[in-house]
Structure formats: C-alpha cells, structure tokens
C-alpha cells in the first residue's frame, strides 16, 4: 500500500516536474500575499518569463486573456522555439489554464486549473507587479503529504533589469519561499507568436485522462531530453 502511494506520488511529481516545472516539498504551501488592489485589466496581455522554478528551457511566454463574453480568465503558457523547427518536431508547447478569483476583495489571489494537473486546482498569486515592466507569480498546490510550488519572474520585454529581479526574489524570500529554485529563461532564439493569435486557444481542463497525461509527459520528455 505504502509502496503504491509512493509510486503514484513519484509519477505525479515527475509529470509535474516535466510539464509545469514545479518543485515538490513536504508540509503545507507557504502563504504568499498578493499585491494590494491588484488590477487584472492592467495585467492582461503578453509577459516574457525571465526566471522560472526548476526549468532550463528557453522561450517561455505567458498570456493572460479575458473572455469579454463571460468575463472568464485564462493563462496561456507557450514555448515557441525556432531551433526545433529544423529537426521537424512540433515546435510549440502550449498549456492553457483556467483562472478564477475566489474572493473579489482579494483579486490578486487566484486559483488555476491546468488540463494536465491530476491534482486539481492550485493557488495562483500575483505577488509583485508594476503592470508596465515587471510581474511575478507564485503557484502552489497541496498534493499528498506535501505541496508543489512554482514561481515566475515576468517582464513585458524579453529582458528585465537586474534591480527588478533582485527585488522580486527578495520579496518571495520574505514569504519563506527559497528563490534558489529559479532558473534563467533565455529568449535569444525564440519565435514568439503575437498575443492576439492566442485569443481562441481553448481552455478545456476536463478532456485529459491519466493516459493522455502520461503520453504527453513522455513526449515532452523525449523532445526536451
Ligand atoms: C467566451 O465565452 C463564451 C461564453 O462562455 C464562449 O461561448 C466563447 O467560446 C468564449 N470565447 C473564447 C474565445 O474562448
């Protein structure tokens, strides 16, 4: 029984690590406070991921998109890498998550659900931003006896001045989250699609079976490794 649980845990951690660059820890999620008076309408649009937990891969962008019909929010995490074109592989990785705000008085504290997350929703917190230059998001999900967490330092441009980076890293540290899990995301050889081309990317968190998740994880592993 215990053996079975640890296999499942290892599998989930493995998938999580491959697909979403989370880091697994024992105990409960550290509580990271959202920015005061967060304004999603100013945060929408394209962000370049400058640093992200536990991934060495390049070219990540996040697009925060609001559906004007029903006001729903989604995040599209994309990695469009030009070098992979040349070897004939699918060059696009795209993960779309549905975001919601459980408490309208705390708009910077959201919940996210990604299709490939077997464990359901995760906390999604915007803990720093000036909307025009930098942003920073933290996510955490309780899973079995621990949690997996991730954070990303975002910029409106493919680079970000070091003082902003330092400020974000030390802010995260004040919440008890070790910034040493950050890796640098390179943006030099990227082919980034315009933000507007992602408007119709579907969010469909319920269509992924466990089998699909494992296949996707394998494919990602093959392509990246
Ligand atoms: C926006 O929401 C409406 C109503 O739920 C839906 O019919 C439509 O497909 C959504 N548009 C996009 C681009 O997701």
Q: Indicate the pLDDT class of residue 55, thresholds 50, 70 and 90.
A: confident
Range of the domain at 44: 2-224
Ligand 1 atom nearest residue 199's Cα: 13
DSSP state of 185: P
- Going by alpha carbons, the residue nearest to atom 13 of ligand 1 is 200
Q: Indicate the pLDDT class of residue 86, thresholds 50, 70 and 90.
A: very low
If one counts every other C-beta atom within 10 angstroms of the C-beta of residue 100, the result is: 12
Of 63, 67, 196, 200, the residue with max ligand 1 atoms within 8 A of its CB, to mutate for a pocket test, comes to 67
Q: How many domains does the chain have?
A: 1
Q: Does the Cβ of 67 fall within 6 Å of ligand 1? A: yes
DSSP assignment string, 60-76: EEEEEEE-TTT--EEEE
**Averaged pLDDT, 156-166:** 97
CATH assignment at residue 116: 2.40.128.20
Distance from the Cα of residue 110 to its chain's centroid:
13
**Longest CA span, the chain:** 51
Torsion of CA 84, 196, 96, 146, to 10 degrees: 90
Q: Does the Cβ of 166 fall within 6 Å of ligand 1? A: no
Average model confidence (pLDDT) across the chain: 80
DSSP assignment string, 132-178: SSEEEEEEEEEETTEEEEEEEEEESSS---HHHHHHHHHHHHHTT--
Tokens read off for 144: 């079995």
Q: Does the Cβ of 200 fall within 6 Å of ligand 1? A: yes
**Averaged pLDDT, 186-197:** 81
Counting Cβ atoms within 10 Å, is residue 122 exposed (0-12), middle (13-18) or buried (19+)?
buried
Quick one: which of 116, 80, 79 has its CA closest to 98?
116
Q: Is the pTM of this model over 0.95?
A: no
Ligand 1 atom nearest residue 74's Cα: 14
């Amino acid at each position: 029984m215990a053996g079975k649980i640890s296999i499942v845990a290892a599998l989930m951690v493995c998938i999580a690590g491959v697909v979403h660059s989370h880091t697994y820890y024992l105990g409960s999620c550290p509580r990271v406070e959202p920015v005061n008076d967060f304004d999603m309408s100013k945060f929408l649009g394209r962000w370049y991921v400058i640093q992200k937990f536990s991934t060495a891969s390049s070219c990540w962008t996040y697009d925060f998109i609001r559906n004007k019909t029903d006001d729903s929010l989604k995040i599209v995490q994309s990695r469009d890498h030009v070098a992979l074109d040349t070897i004939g592989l699918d060059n696009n990785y795209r993960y779309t998550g549905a975001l919601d705000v459980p408490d309208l008085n705390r708009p910077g504290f959201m919940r996210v659900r990604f299709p490939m997350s077997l464990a359901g929703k995760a906390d999604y917190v915007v803990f720093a931003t000036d909307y025009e230059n930098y942003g920073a998001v933290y996510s955490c999900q309780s899973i079995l006896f621990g949690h997996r967490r991730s954070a990303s330092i975002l910029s409106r441009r493919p680079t970000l001045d070091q003082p902003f980076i330092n400020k974000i890293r030390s802010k995260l540290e004040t919440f008890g989250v070790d910034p040493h899990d950050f890796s640098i995301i390179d943006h030099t050889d990227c082919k980034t699609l315009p933000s507007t081309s992602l408007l119709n990317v579907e969010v469909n968190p319920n269509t992924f079976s466990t089998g699909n998740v494992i296949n996707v994880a394998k494919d990602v592993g093959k392509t990246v490794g």
